[in-house]
Each structure stands twice: as structure tokens, then as C-alpha cells.
Amino acid sequence: MGSRSKHDRLVVKVPDTLAALLGVERADIDVRREDRSGADFVISAVGMTFVVEVKVTTSAAAVAMAVRQVLRHAARIRRRAVPLLAVPFMGEVGRRVCEEAGVGWLDLSGNARIIAPGIRVVVEGKPNRFRAAGRPPNLFAPKSSRITRWLLVHAGEPLTQREISRATGLDEGMVSRLVARLIAEDYLVRNEDGGVRVKDPALLLDVWREAYQFSKHTLHQGHVASRSGDALLRFVGEALRDQGIEHAATGLAAAWALTRFAAFRIATVYLPADPSPVLLECLGFREDPRGANLWLVVPNDEGVFQGAVEKDGIRCVHPVQVYVDLKDHPERAPEAAERLRTELLTWRRDG
């Protein structure tokens, strides 16, 4: 009842919001509610027909589902109908989902992107006016992310909550709460036998990456004499193996090891604890954040090592971890992330 009434309260604001964005009076637009197409609204304005779907939740999964719905509604009306999604606030991933599908959107916080023949409305930078009071549990907090990571590593496989608990080292109560949240947000689906799997791995990866902050790890940035990035990576890996220290490369170094994408200067390696003076001396490590070519990273959660892989003698974190880590890396990190995704993180989308 509460959810429906919230939906209704949002619905009544949409025509006024759209009229203001189009620069016309409310009286100059024609509004039909609950059209036979299945849309929440069909609005005629400025010589165009807008087919509007309204969603209360702002989760990227709900936006992706609504995009599919509004495209079906628009197809039932006529070819020139403009599909339009309305939400309280549109996040970064939701915006990208809409843009890729060619669906316009507006949010009731004042932002919009509506582009069609003869019309272009783009409003950005308005804050979220519908932020809930208090702090809901963070699905992508360091420890919580173990679940997302493990599910993405095993995307397509149904996993029981007990299996997830054992694999991630999280207690079953925490796993149960977080899985319930992921299901409620429409990121997971539950099978008849109780197992869960990711509904749309590409979307979940995007949402995790949006929330992820590499800077929350502890970074030791310094310089080690070496003729190239890959020579440095191999030298550091061998030194760590010789000393029996768990490690795994990430960032540009791991992207190169996994896909051979582009030479790199900065080698980034996860360690389970701060490097000892003995290790630093062995590496010839000189602290130098400005001229650093080696980042030794102590993660804020040991889950980063889950699913680590060996490639040509180089130990790397799993490609899903490399991908989110590249978000905050320099040099050609965006291109490396795209190559990694294209080659190693390809998943079938559920309809």
C-alpha cells in the first residue's frame, strides 16, 4: 500500500515536470493515464507523443527493467512515440542504461535527458531530493562486496547461500541479509531449489563500479629501478613468491597480463599487510608518490584476492576486481577497462 501510494504521489508530478522542461504551460499538454499500451502516461506536447513509465525505486536494475517496459509500450502506440522514463533521481548507471537503449528520462529532482528528432533537453547537476533518511546497509561496502564479487566470478551458476557463506568467509546471517537486499533491488533471482544467481551481471558490475573507491585502500607509492613496467611486475612477483607473501596484481599491470593491452608504467600489486622494511629493501623501493612506478596496496578487505588467477607466471586478481580497480587508475586505464570487459567479462543479458 505504501509503495503504491508513493508511486501515485510521484505520478501526479510528472506532467508538470515535463511541461516545465519543454517550456510550455501545463494546460498546453494532453495527458492520458493508464493508456491501453500499458504505459503510466501518454502525453502529447510540442507536436510529439511521449510514452511515460514511472518508477519509485532508483536502483539500476529497476531502471533497466523499466527501459524494456517503456520500449514495449512505445512500440504498441506508433513508431514516432518517444519513450520516456521518470524516476525520483537517476543515478549514473541508470543514465547510461537509458542512453544505450535510446530512452529519454527525467527525474523529479530536476535532471533530464530527452533527445528526439526536433527536441533536445539536457539538465544535469541537480541533487537528489529524495534521499532516504538514515544510512541503509551498503551492498558494496568492502566486506559486503565479497558477495557481489563471488557472484560475478560465478555468473550464470546458481549458488546457495551456504555456498556463498563458505566461499566468502561471511556468516550465513550476513549473507542472508545481503542476498535479500540484492533480490529486492532486482540484481539476483532465486531458483526453485533456493539457489541464487545474478540476473544481469553486466549491470551489477556497473553498479558496483559506480560505488567503488580504490582510494579507500592503503597505498604505498614508490619507485623501483626497472627498464619497463612488465619487467618490474615480474621482478616484484618473483620477490614476493620467494618470501612467501600472498599477492596479486591489479590495475594496468593486471590488464596487460590478462589481455596484453598496452605497455604500462605503474605496476600495482595487492599485499595482505603493510610491506616490511626487509621487503622494501629487497625491492629497492624508494617512497616517491610523484614519480611512483610501483603501488603496493593493502586492501580494506581481503576479499580482493577471491578468484585470483595465474597468467603466464603473473598472479592477478580476478578480472572483475581488475575492472573496478581501473576506475581510479591513471594512464590508459579507461581503454584498458574497456578491453578487459570486451575480452573477459562478456555475459548474456536476461530479457
The C-alpha atoms of residue 332 and residue 273 are separated, in whole angstroms, by: 28
Q: 54-98, pLDDT tens digit by residue?
A: 988 778 888 888 998 999 988 888 667 899 999 999 988 899 999
pLDDT at residue 342, rounded to an integer: 93
What pLDDT, on the 0 to 100 scale, is given for residue 297? 98
The domain 145-211 having CATH identifier 1.10.10.10: the answer here is yes
Q: Give domain limits for the chain.
A: 2-123, 145-211, 214-344
pLDDT tens digits, one per residue of 149-205: 999 999 988 999 999 999 999 999 999 999 999 998 889 999 888 899 999 999 999
Neighbouring C-beta atoms of residue 287, cutoff 10 Å: 10
Please say whether the beta carbons of 114 and 83 come within 8 A: no
Please give the share of the chain, as a percent, with pLDDT higher than 90: 72
Nearest to 251, CA basis, from 173, 314, 186: 314
Res 32 pLDDT > 70? yes
Do the Cβ atoms of 277 and 209 come closer than 8 Å?
Answer: no
Residue 175 CA to residue 163 CA, distance in Å, equals 10
Q: Which CATH number fits domain 214-344: 3.30.460, 3.30.190, 2.30.30, 3.40.190?
A: 3.30.460
Residues 6+ apart with CB under 8 A from 196: 151, 158, 159, 160, 161, 164, 179, 182, 183, 188, 189, 190
| Sign of the four-CA dihedral 176, 181, 184, 189 | negative
Residue 35 confidence class, pLDDT cut points 50, 70, 90: low
Report d(CA 48, CA 62) in Å as an integer.
26
The pLDDT of residue 134? 45
pLDDT > 90? residue 222:
yes
Q: How far apart are CA 88 and CA 163, in angstroms?
A: 37
Please report which confidence band the pLDDT of residue 50 belongs to, taking 50, 70 and 90 as the band edges: very high
pTM: 0.78
Q: Which fold has domain 2-123?
A: Trna Endonuclease; Chain: A, domain 1 (3.40.1350)
